[in-house]
Amino acid sequence: MIMSYHFALRCCGAALLLAAISFCANAQPLATTKLSRHLSVLNDRAFADFPAAAVSSARPTDIMSTDRNANLETRIVLDAQASRLVFFAQELFATGDKKSVARFAGEESLSIGAKTTVLADDGQLFTTLSTPIKFDTTQAAILVNSLLVKLPDNTVFRLAAYINPAAYAHRADFEALSARVFGSLKVGPRQVNRTAHTETPAVLGSAKKLSIDLPTDFALSTDQKYDFQVFNFHHYRPLGTPGREILTVYVGRHPSYFFREFGFERDDARLLKGNFLGKPVNWLHFANPTKALYVQEQQLDGSVLGPGLTLHVGMVGSTEVAIGELVKVASNISVAR
């Protein structure tokens, strides 16, 4: 049986359990098994067809972390006895046209040792399929196929397929099956608003809302759990742009600085004056030009949003200019009237 009775009931219900039993008992060839389950990818950014026993199952988190955001990632699991095939889609916050996506896929394949081909070019989707030539069977998750997907709005996400070591003996079958799933991909209705606009998200546990002015090519996602909330700002940049940009605003009661996660100590900081929610701020600014790494953050009183709340505003960039752009976005946040 490809999954235990209780696990199947808990995760996907009796119907999927029966599908899983049938999938295994009928010994249907993996490479040609019917793709009868239509599942959402990245919360309706796209859809694809999977075997009936496939289950959409978010990555687990610990009790202190927020749940996985369906707009940012999708995990779909197919179990066949001891073998497991996992599809993992990830928003890249990247843009590109057909030429730049194909070029990036080719360069990436050369660097990791893979063969690349254009899988779809139908006027809606442009996708490039990369299949590794060599495989590291010591890994718990072995990559068998990777798909770069360019949507009609020129945003790009990745959909990859991994198997566990127990499945490696049937790698060719899982490779063929995942390629068929990739080939079934269709554009979904959800689009990302990348125009300059204002959003007013509610603050968890409060009657207040924030007013957030997003510049062109910025998007906002919100994660929350129990008594805290995190607003994540995402900058869409051309595919392959080096460096990273992070801006997060935490609202809760147990914030923590993250400069140590990047190898800095408190004494490495210099203070920079600024403002947030209309009040003065002394930012902690950390710089490591050798590693092209810059961090700026501060914890602030959040009582303007609710009693007992504390804010943590954190920014990471690869240049001082990038940090400056993020500071400008943060400084324009206000309490909605």
For residue 172, the domain's CATH number is: 3.40.1000
Q: Give me the long-range contacts of 284-291 (CB less than 8 A, separation at least 24).
A: 284/257, 284/259, 285/323, 286/259, 286/262, 287/320, 288/262, 288/263, 288/264
Q: What is the pLDDT of residue 28?
A: 64
Q: What is the pLDDT of residue 223?
A: 94
Q: E strands along 103-192, which residues?
A: 114-121, 126-132, 142-150, 155-163, 186-187
Q: How many domains does the chain have?
A: 2
- Rounded distance between C-alpha atoms, residue 215 and residue 328, angstroms: 10
Same domain, 164 and 236: no
Q: What is the pLDDT of residue 3?
A: 34
Same domain, 162 and 41: yes
- Rounded to two decimals, what is the model's pTM? 0.88
Q: Which of 187, 214, 246 is the last residue of a domain?
A: 187
Q: What is the pLDDT of residue 26?
A: 45
Helical spans, DSSP H, in the chain: 5-25, 98-112, 171-183, 320-331
Q: Count CB atoms within 10 A of the CB of residue 181.
A: 23
Q: What is the pLDDT of residue 66?
A: 81
Same domain, 42 and 92: yes
Same domain, 295 and 263: yes
Which residues of the chain register pLDDT less than 70?
Answer: 1-28
Q: Which of 187, 207, 227 is the last residue of a domain?
A: 187
288 — phi, psi (to 5°)?
Answer: -135, 85
Same domain, 87 and 20: yes
Same domain, 47 and 173: yes
Q: What is the pLDDT of residue 30?
A: 81
Is residue 14, in this structure, part of any structural domain at all? Answer: yes
Q: What is the pLDDT of residue 15?
A: 41
2 — phi, psi (to 5°)?
Answer: -80, -10
Same domain, 214 and 182: no
Unique residue bearing structure tokens 């073998």 = 83
Closest residue by Cα to residue 302 from 293, 313, 292: 313
Closest residue by Cα to residue 71 from 205, 200, 219, 181: 219
Same domain, 303 and 232: yes
Q: What is the pLDDT of residue 29?
A: 79
Q: What is the pLDDT of residue 67?
A: 86
**Domain interval for residue 315:** 197-335
Same domain, 182 and 310: no
Residue 245: what residue type?
Answer: E
Same domain, 178 and 222: no
- Which secondary-structure segment (H or E) carries 315? strand 310-317
Q: What is the pLDDT of residue 5?
A: 28
